[in-house]
Structures are given as C-alpha cells and as structure tokens.
Structure 1
C-alpha cells in the first residue's frame, strides 16, 4: 500500500508504551483530584486524637467519628442555612432557565420583533458587564435589600447562557419547525412541543452551571443580607472558616470536648459539596448528548 493511503497516526493501534504512559497520566490526574477530597472527608470523620497526631489533617482515619457533623447541626444555624440554600438554588435555577430559554428561542427565530437589536444588546453585555456598585444601587432602588430575591433576580439572566442555548436551538433542523407550522401550530406550541423537548441536553448543561452558581454564591448574600438568620450555607461556612466559629444556640455540652476546628471545617465543606455531587451523575448523560447533538446538522 502506498504511503498516500496509510492510516493516520491517530487511527493506528497504540503501542504498549503509549498505553502505559496514558494510564500513568490518568492515574496522576485521578490522584490529584481524589487526594484532596479524600483528605477532606477523612478529616471530617477523624477523632481529635488522630487529628492532633497528624498535625491537623488525616488521610485515612483509624476510627470514624461523627462528632464534627453533630457539632455542626446541633445548636447552629447550618441546618437552616442548608434549607435556605436549597430553596434559593431551586427557585433561582428555575427562574433563570425560564428567562434564558425564552430569550434564546426568541433570538434564534429570524423575523422576531427587534431580533437584531436585542441580540446586539445581549452581545454587548458580554463586553461591558455592570460593576458591583451599579448592581447594588439597582437592588437598593427596587427595595430588594434583605430579600432573597436580591440573590436571584440580579444574576437570573446571563448573556453567555443565552448565546449557548440560542446556538443549540439554531442547530435544530428548520424542517421540524416548518412541519409544525404547516400543521397549524403557533409559536408557543412550537416552543413547547418542538424546541423545548429537543433542547433538553443543553438545558441540563446550562441548568447545572446556573445551579452551581446559585449554590456557591456567597458574595451576593454578603452584600444584600444583613440578617445572619437569612444567611445561606456558603456564607455560614465562610464565616466559620474565617472566624473559626458558627452562630450557636446550645452547642456542645460543657462536659463534652468540642471537636477540633479542622474537623468541623471539613464537615462543612463535605455538606456543601454533596448536593452538587449528587446532581452531576443524573446530568452527565445529557452533557454527552448535548455535545453530540450540537455537532450534527439536520
């Protein structure tokens, strides 16, 4: 066979040395990712004696202790802050997805009212984002200070997310929209029956990004919420990490020794990480489908 018909290098069978190097690189990457997380979980479950013997952090505990988690939930505002974070994340994600998908669908349809002007306005906001002071003044003028809506509305619409969803909807074959229109469907019916079901993959991906943003948000509550009883989990965790204490009502009994600060800090980190870890497996298949669907043209 002539050299012009030779198989490309990336289609050839990999050599044993190449396979070994790839496996070693994969192990190193997994180690870099797993080692810190394992340390966090192990330290949160370790006893005071183990933490003191290991200098503050434990890689693998000899015995499991849930004193740090008991200290976090008993007599502190962590339980209330978790409920607040879950509600803010759920409502904020739903509201943001609704605004994003509707805006993206309208901007993807040629001939829509002010389609070009609104699209230019959305793209301009990618270059000139508002600063902290204008956003704070807007929240103050709309009387949202001290309200949970101050954590949801200012960040509900992202130009980047609109551009991503719009590009995905534009890749849907136009024949589907034309067929629905011939059958007598209006724009709302086309949106709910054609565009929305075929956009589940990109909605799942963008929804995950939005949910992570709301869940990890601590700067917004720091600016807009002065009442500590309204603080979400991330702000409570930040307060504890910086001040080495949480707001308590009846913490550990005087006769009991309080768990080490490192153990309680790691317990808070684990509690804040679990919801995202639980949501990702359900959305991972949609991420793969979204990338494949975006690469297929009708």
Structure 2
C-alpha cells in the first residue's frame, strides 16, 4: 500500500518526536554514567552538555567498592530482593488462586475488603506499633512481611488465573490432585507471563525500597543499599571514602555520588531485558480479562 505525502510526513514527525523523547529520557542517565567515569577536577570545570567523560578516571568506583557499607548494603539488598520476592510470589499466588475459584463463598465481600486496602491505610504510626508488637523491629522480617502481598498485583494475578480453563482443574481433581498440586503443577506453569511480571515488579520494589528500612531498622549492618545511598546523597556522607581537601574534596565527593548511583542502578536495569518478552503479555492478561 502506497503512503500519501501527508502520511509519510506524519511518520517522519513521529520518528523525530520519539528520537527527541528518547534523548531527553536517556541523557540524565548518560550524564550520571559519564560523570562517574570522569576525573574529579575536570568534572568540576565541566560546563554544558557532556558527551564523554571529563578525563577518564575509575577512582570513584574504587572508592565506592572499598566502602564496607556499600558492600554490606549490596549483600543485604540481594537477600531482601531474593527472599522478599519469593515470599511475595508465594503469598500473592495463594491469594490469587483462592480468589479465582468460582465456588468460593462470599467472594464478592472478600474482594470488597481487599480492594478497600488500596484506598485506605492504617497509617505509619499504627503500622509501626504493629511491627513493634510483633517483635519484628530491627530485623529483616520488618522489611519483608508487612508488604508480603501487593493488592494490585494479586488482582492482576487472580485475573490471569481465571483465564485458565476449568476443565484442566476438573481433570486434575479426577486424578486425585488437591489444591496445592493444582496450583503449583498446573496454574502457575500456565501463568508464567504474569509470574514474570510479578517477579519484575516485586524485585524492583525491593531493590528501590528504603523507607521501611529507614523506619524499622536501627542496626546499620542490616541497611539495604538504597539506604546507604541515601546517606551518601542526602547527608553528603562521602568523607570516609576520599582524600584531599577544598575544591578537590568537593569534586571527588561528587564523582563518588555519581558512581554510587550507577552501582545501585545497573543491576536492576540488567534484569529487565530477560523479562521484557513477558512484560506486555502479562500486563495485558491482567488488564483485559474479567
């Protein structure tokens, strides 16, 4: 089909607009990456748009990885991500499976109370008192248990589970399978696209989370990476990671901040391409089915 001049012009403008949008979106990340690779003094003198490192230097990354709190924060965050995501998936899948069963009594009433939690929340003080009364203060469980289920994610997974033919469950029950076996042997394997989306959302949430740790943790040895990064960026806490003084000290501190941002961002960015093929499909499953 031959395009008209107007259609071609419209297509060219769309391409140009998308290129500009990509450049505007990617440049801040590119700037941080280039600044983290720059020489501290040269970076301090840099003005305008940066298209390359201002004097290549890996000293900022060396300082970051020599900081024991960064390494410890990495270890803690990996534990929170893997263990937390596993708990999230298990609890969300169980809740979604129960709510997707057509013979569940009082399902509409249960769904009403579940949806209400998306609008109303007890607040920070009651949540703090609850975590404290449960004896989870200053432990990893204070980070993992309060957010074990995300209501929105459970609704999406429930909608996906509802799309699985009932005949598969009926045939499995005729063979003697119970609910646990049906869930883990039939329902979850047939729902891998939405499971992949849940892994991505929960993992990113745990990786970026710092507020619960800020509220519930007092032991610095249990701090996640993002809380360590917050101290570096907000509290200007880079003195122990550098040497020098005056402007040099300020410049080195800036490059260390950029390097810390890159170190905390790259791993989760690298995870996304492996789950990208499931992302759109999984979201659409939860979006268009009732």
Using the size of structure 1 for normalisation, the TM-score is 0.87
Residue 241 in 1 paired to residue 239 in 2?
Answer: no
Distance 1:127 1:239, change over 3 A: same
Q: 1:22 aligns with which of 14, 21, 26?
A: 14
Match of 2:158 in 1: 166
Tell me if the contact between 1:90 and 1:211 (Cα under 8 Å) persists in the aligned partners.
yes
> Of 211, 220, 233, which residue of structure 2 is paired with 1:219?
211
SS state of the match for residue 199, structure 1? helix
1:287 aligns to what? 279
Aligned to 1:3: none
Aligned residues: 284
Judge conservation of contact 2:60–2:259 (CA < 8 Å) in 1: yes
CA–CA distance in 2 between the matches of 1:13 and 1:169? 43
Match of 1:80 among 68, 72, 79: 72
User: Aligned Cα RMSD in Å?
Assistant: 2.5
Q: CA deviation at 1:206?
A: 1.6
Q: Compared with structure 1, are the counterparts of its residues 51 and 246 closer, same or farther at alpha carbon in structure 2 (3 Å cutoff)? A: closer
2:194 to 189, 202, 206: 202
Please tell me whether the aligned partners of residues 156 and 287 of structure 2 are also in contact (alpha carbons under 8 angstroms). Answer: no
Cα 1:121–1:227 shift into 2, 3 Å: same
**C-alpha displacement at 1:253, in angstroms?**
5.9
Matched, 1:232 2:224: yes
Distance in 1 between residues matched to 2:174 and 2:33, nearest whole Å: 58
**Cα pair 1:77 1:246 within 8 Å, conserved:** no
Matched, 1:152 2:152: no
Measured in 1, the distance between the counterparts of 2:159 and 2:112 equals 15
Distance 1:125 1:295, change over 3 A: closer
* 1:116-155 matched pairs, under 5 angstroms: 116-155=108-147
> 1:181 is matched with which residue?
173
Residue aligning to 1:6: none
For structure 1, the residue ranges without an aligned partner over 5 or more in a row are: 1-10
Residues 260-271 of structure 1 aligned to structure 2 (within 5 Å): 260-271=252-263
Alignment counterpart, residue 43 of structure 1, candidates 14, 20, 35: 35
Alpha-carbon shift at residue 213 of structure 1 (Å): 1.1
Which structure's residues are more often helix, by fraction? 2
The answer as to whether partners of 2:172 and 2:182 remain within 8 angstroms in 1 is yes
Q: Conserved in 2, the CA contact under 8 Å of 1:81 and 1:231? A: yes
User: What are the residue-to-residue correspondences of 1:251-266 with 2, within 5 Å?
Assistant: 251-252=241-242, 260-266=252-258
1:107 to 99, 106, 131: 99
Return closer, same or farther for 1:46/1:230 CA change in 2, 3 Å cut-off.
same
Deviation, structure 1 residue 80: 0.7
> Which one is further off, 231-240 or 186-195?
186-195
**Aligned partners of 2:156 and 2:286 also within 8 Å:** no
Structure 1 residues 231-278: Cα deviation after superposition (integer angstroms, max 9, x where no partner): 111111111111211484xx44679x7562221111111111111111
Greater mean alpha carbon deviation, residues 16-25 or residues 116-125: 116-125
Gap runs ≥5 in structure 2: none
Runs of 4+ in 1 over 4 A off after TM superposition: 11-14, 55-58, 251-255, 291-297
Q: Distance in 2 between matches of 1:290 and 1:235?
A: 31
